[in-house]
Amino acid sequence: MEEIQKYPAGWRVLHWIMAVMVLALIPIGVWMTARGEADLWDSLTDTLYSWHKLIGFTVLILMVVRIGMKVFIKSPPYPDHLPRSLQLAAKSLHHLVYVLLVLTPLFGWAGVTAFPALVTVGGYDLPAMPFVPVDRELAGTLFDIHGLLAMGLAILLVGHIGAAFRHMLRKDGIFKRMV
């Protein structure tokens, strides 16, 4: 039986922490935006926005760590029984998820800088993104792009989670690499 190599422990911990954060960010983002569009500006909407911004910004910082890990630590090789085409598809999907996990929070941060609406949980402000002017119209465009990127990310994550479940049910060792 071929030995399956796992991802390093720190990598696995970061993966699951970020998975919980991103899976919370998407419904919170949709919910708060719907409340904002319905003009429901109460403390619940404020709280949702504050947490969304704080968690989203934390994801951006963690992505820097994650990309560092990807560059400096080699991912374990796929087992030989996994067809080359599937290995290539998995790698491409993962790279695309990485790109969206950087671009989505960057556009959210740029949007709240342009609005400006940097306040988060406990009244603490996020730093403003350098070189982004205060401009409501620009903020609207940045939020639209942020929303589109987030939807693209959500679609990719459905594929990613579906593939993970398939590996789990087939017990082919791929799922175990990340647990």
User: Tokens 């190599």 map to which residue?
Assistant: 5
For ligand HEM, the closer CB: 60 or 69: 60
For ligand HEM, the closer CB: 23 or 168: 23
Phi/psi of residue 125, nearest 5 degrees: -90, 140
Q: Is 101 in the site for ligand HEM (CB under 6 A)?
A: yes
Which residues is 125 bridged to in the sheet?
A: 119
Q: Is 48 in the site for ligand HEM (CB under 6 A)?
A: no
Which residues between 118 and 147 bind ligand HEM (CB under 6 A)?
A: 126, 143, 146-147
Nearest-angstrom CA–CA distance, 137 and 121: 25
Question: DSSP secondary-structure letter at 176?
Answer: G
Q: Looking at 36, 68, 77, 83, which residue binds ligand HEM (CB under 6 A)?
A: 36
Extract the tokens encoding 47: 């709280």
For ligand HEM, the closer CB: 29 or 173: 29
Q: Is 114 in the site for ligand HEM (CB under 6 A)?
A: no
Nearest-angstrom CA–CA distance, 178 and 174: 8
- Report which secondary-structure segment, H or E, holds 55: helix 43-72
Report the 3 state secondary structure along 92-147: HHHHHHHHHHHHHHHHHHHHHHHCCCCECHHHCECCCCCCCCCCHHHHHHHHHHHH
Q: Looking at 4, 60, 69, 96, which residue binds ligand HEM (CB under 6 A)?
A: 60
Report, in Å, the least distance between residue 157 CB and ligand HEM: 9
Q: Looking at 45, 48, 50, 59, which residue binds ligand HEM (CB under 6 A)?
A: 59
Report, in Å, the least distance between residue 87 CB and ligand HEM: 26
Name the residues that contact ligand HEM, by CB under 6 A: 22, 25-26, 29-30, 33, 36, 52-53, 56-57, 59-60, 101, 104-105, 108-109, 111-112, 126, 143, 146-147, 150, 153
